[in-house]
Amino acid sequence: GAVVSQHPSWVICKSGTSVKIECRSLDFQATTMFWYRQFPKQSLMLMATSNEGSKATYEQGVEKDKFLINHASLTLSTLTVTSAHPEDSSFYICSASRTSGSQTQYFGPGTRLLVL
């Protein structure tokens, strides 16, 4: 159990377009979902935490109007990178937790975004 999927696994887009990434918990209900960004050979940088039905909590320095997060159900969260620019190119990984905040997180396979 505890499988998390992410779609798409990779995406290439033109500068100025918006990209939506979906994160789904396939076999459990995720009270909390997390969105991370990882640059090559670097650690995971938490972008935001979202609880089902409420607004996401963004980490300092992360623009909430740039990275729109929707956690509409206990099994789905989406991250939309709006008006993407080349510097937004990165590996975006979601994770899901059965309970709020601090319990074990199950990671999705990640989405590689390349903005041209």
Partner 1 sequence: GQQVMQIPQYQHVQEGEDFTTYCNSSTTLSNIQWYKQRPGGHPVFLIQLVKSGEVKKQKRLTFQFGEAKKNSSLHITATQTTDVGTYFCAGNSGYALNFGKGTSLLVTP
Site residues (vs partner 1, CB under 8 A): 41-44, 46, 49, 93, 95, 101-102, 104-110
Residue 3 CA from chain centroid, whole number: 15
What is the nearest approach in angstroms of partner 1 to the Cβ of residue 29? Answer: 18
Q: Residue 48 forms beta bridges with which residues? A: 35, 58
| Residue closer to partner 1 (CB basis): 54 or 102 | 102
| Residue closer to partner 1 (CB basis): 15 or 105 | 105
What is the nearest approach in angstroms of partner 1 to the Cβ of residue 15? Answer: 25
**How many CA atoms within 13 Å lie on the side-chain side of 30?**
31
Distances (CA, A) of 76 to 22, 28, 47, 69, 84: 7, 11, 17, 11, 22
What is the nearest approach in angstroms of partner 1 to the Cβ of residue 32? Answer: 9
Cβ neighbours of residue 64 under 8 Å, at least 6 residues apart? Answer: 48, 56, 58
| Residue closer to partner 1 (CB basis): 75 or 95 | 95
- In whole angstroms, give the CA distance from residue 107 to residue 13: 24
What is the nearest approach in angstroms of partner 1 to the Cβ of residue 54? Answer: 15
| Residue closer to partner 1 (CB basis): 10 or 18 | 10
